[in-house]
Amino acid sequence: MRSIIYTVAFSLAAFPGFADPLPSWAASENKTAIIDFVESVTDPASPDYVTPDARIATFDNDGTLWSEQPLYFQFLFSFDQLRMMGAADPSILTSDTLKAAAKGDVETVVAGGKDALVEVLVAAHSGMSAETYRSSVSEWLTSATHPETNLPYDQMLYQPMLELLRYLRDEGFETYIVSGGGIDFMRVFAERVYGIPPENIVGSSFQASYQVIDGVPTLMKEGELFFYDDKEGKPVGIYRHIGRRPILAAGNSDGDFQMLEYTTAGDGARLGILVRHTDSDREFAYDREGHIGVLDRGLDEGPERGWAIVDMARDWSQVWVSQ
Amino acid sequence: MRSIIYTVAFSLAAFPGFADPLPSWAASENKTAIIDFVESVTDPASPDYVTPDARIATFDNDGTLWSEQPLYFQFLFSFDQLRMMGAADPSILTSDTLKAAAKGDVETVVAGGKDALVEVLVAAHSGMSAETYRSSVSEWLTSATHPETNLPYDQMLYQPMLELLRYLRDEGFETYIVSGGGIDFMRVFAERVYGIPPENIVGSSFQASYQVIDGVPTLMKEGELFFYDDKEGKPVGIYRHIGRRPILAAGNSDGDFQMLEYTTAGDGARLGILVRHTDSDREFAYDREGHIGVLDRGLDEGPERGWAIVDMARDWSQVWVSQ
């Protein structure tokens, strides 16, 4: 039996398409760093060997696994949701901000700053059961398309990151999303598109309540913030939800700084990855400035901390998921 | 090949010690109900078949997996912890309640009601790093013993429930703890004693903060309540942490009522289990009254809801974990 296994492994190695766990990553020091890291923590003979139960990898979502321009997709969902909710019952549009959102007037809402965005989020994400909310997101994903690419949102996934998720799982890692986005929002599609099950999603959330309504036990989404899983919140979210420090963390913005800091400060081999959006032709180009996905401190301090700064234009031979 | 498997299964069935997945459960309708349920959801030919990813089982901890008398063990830890903290720095004992707790004067603290108990909990569980806290609990478990049985606390585990956890995992279930107890407290021992890893623990928690202290990324435990995972909080905790409705839930008190209600209201085969403490000889006997583990509504409504009410004295041939 053993000789047969050796033979198979040997034949696969002869075909680079099979042997390369990250085919959409161009040859680069970053690709080498990732593969070297995975090999060092999975080889029982390596001084950096990590037992499978401690192979925890955490990924930001917006801008790391899928796109986030011109606005987080969850905000774009909220605008569409308010349009539908407002059409059914105009009385719910109780402010100029909500009226603007229901008209799809993104500029006016964004001009209102953080308070206006939160108002839109709250209105689109509360006062309904978790089940009703899930159906709305699911329906939206099958019908809405991105204003610039015209792609369905759940096709604006990065093929190289999907390969990385799969590679890690094949090597015994448990993969998690740790995102500032809403936990309920991501759970609708994360298992289907990323292979990451509901229990492995850490995210922001509003309060929830349990009520028996007409005899039916129901989880209701409420309008007050419960947990904001961004910046310092990410290590806190990891600590609460996972209870172990990751050995690999990937993000793309300063909202991920503390997650990478916490992850890479642990003992033994650790890997921090920051995706830098450098590709205006195939995706978008932005980093130090803007209202979404600002990457500033990470660019300054990441290299000296040993984090891999992935240059999308240079390091990825393909951007979007293969259909 | 197939005939060999049949032969093995047949021979095992001839030896009850091998074939019985719950050897410490006496023959009873409850034992039969549990085994019938597990067989019905794991047999692909059964109309109640459930795919492995949806085989979620949630267990209360105090009074369900280990004892909870004369007081939740986490409170007993808090008293011991305050004694040590107070010996090192008496100035932290800022009230009569904390002074009483540090003296081990349980009666005075309990007489102070919920506020006094919360004050003791907060003092013993905040103002330190998560790491320091974990070490304290770990140290306590190796040294402290129960005032009545003189057993180490982590030997006051129910053998029949350990068998049930193992049986479920062997049958492809994912087992979780969903407890009113502290998530950090349980994570210290749950993997070792129950085989339930940190990420599968849902519990109550205080606020936490992420701080870089002298260059070291640190999770600090703060003194304000973050989430109380009891009663209506249990379905909310399950929804947030797991994101799927369990198909089996086990508890022992009215604090578990909503978890069982939510679980058994789902479609398809479901099982709710309540452990009733009826065994004053081998453990403790209590249900409708008291300050710990009150089971009243569950006794009234459980049977008509189809929940298995496990009578510890009658249904368990062994109580404590086999050493």
For B217, which of A130, A187, A265 is closest by C-beta distance? Answer: A265
Ranges in chain B, pLDDT < 50: 1-17
Taking an 8 Å cut-off on Cβ atoms, the answer to whether A262 and B210 are in contact is: yes
| Residue B64 C-alpha, separation from nearest chain A C-alpha, in angstroms | 23
Average pLDDT of the segment spanning A193-200: 98
A219 and B CB contact within 8 Å: yes
Residues A166-181: b if buried by 16+ CB within 10 A, e if exposed: ebbeeeebbbbbbbbb
Phi and psi, residue A86, nearest 5° = -70, -35
For B243, which of A201, A212, A240 is closest by C-beta distance? Answer: A201
Q: For residue range A198-241, list pLDDT tens digits in order.
A: 999 999 999 999 999 999 999 999 999 999 999 999 999 999 99
Prior bond to B198 cis, omega within 30?
A: no
Taking an 8 Å cut-off on Cβ atoms, the answer to whether A261 and B212 are in contact is: yes
Find chain B residues with C-beta within 8 A of A262's C-beta: 210, 217
B192 and A CB contact within 8 Å: no
Q: For residue range A115-147, list pLDDT tens digits in order.
A: 999 999 999 999 999 999 999 999 999 999 999
Lookup: tokens for B193? 């004693």
Write down the pLDDT at residue B3.
Answer: 37
Instruction: List, in sequence order, the alpha helices (H) in A198-303.
Output: 233-241, 257-264, 297-301
Strand, coil or helix: A177: strand
Q: Read off the pTM.
A: 0.93
Taking an 8 Å cut-off on Cβ atoms, the answer to whether B187 and A241 are in contact is: no
Cα-to-chain-centroid distance, residue B308: 17
Say if residues B35 and B19 touch (Cβ distance below 8 Å). no
Taking an 8 Å cut-off on Cβ atoms, the answer to whether B239 and A261 are in contact is: no
Q: How far apart are the C-alpha atoms of B66 and A32, rounded to whole Å? A: 49
Say if residues B151 and B145 touch (Cβ distance below 8 Å). yes
Between chain A and chain B, the number of residue pairs with CB atoms below 8 A apart is 78
| Residue A204 C-alpha, separation from nearest chain B C-alpha, in angstroms | 10
Q: How far apart are the C-alpha atoms of A286 and A37, rounded to whole Å? A: 28
Q: How far apart are the C-alpha atoms of B43 and A103, rounded to whole Å? A: 52
The H or E element spanning position A309 is strand A308-311
Taking an 8 Å cut-off on Cβ atoms, the answer to whether A209 and B232 are in contact is: yes
Q: How does residue A19 score in pLDDT terms, banded at 50, 70 and 90?
A: confident
The H or E element spanning position B87 is helix B73-88
Q: How far apart are the C-alpha atoms of B303 and B300, rounded to whole Å? A: 7
Rounded (5°) CA angle B28-B269-B172: 85
| Residue B145 C-alpha, separation from nearest chain A C-alpha, in angstroms | 27
- Whether residue A63 is predicted with pLDDT greater than 50 in this model: the reply is yes
A240 and B CB contact within 8 Å: yes
Strand, coil or helix: B49: coil
Cα R_g (chain A), whole angstroms: 21
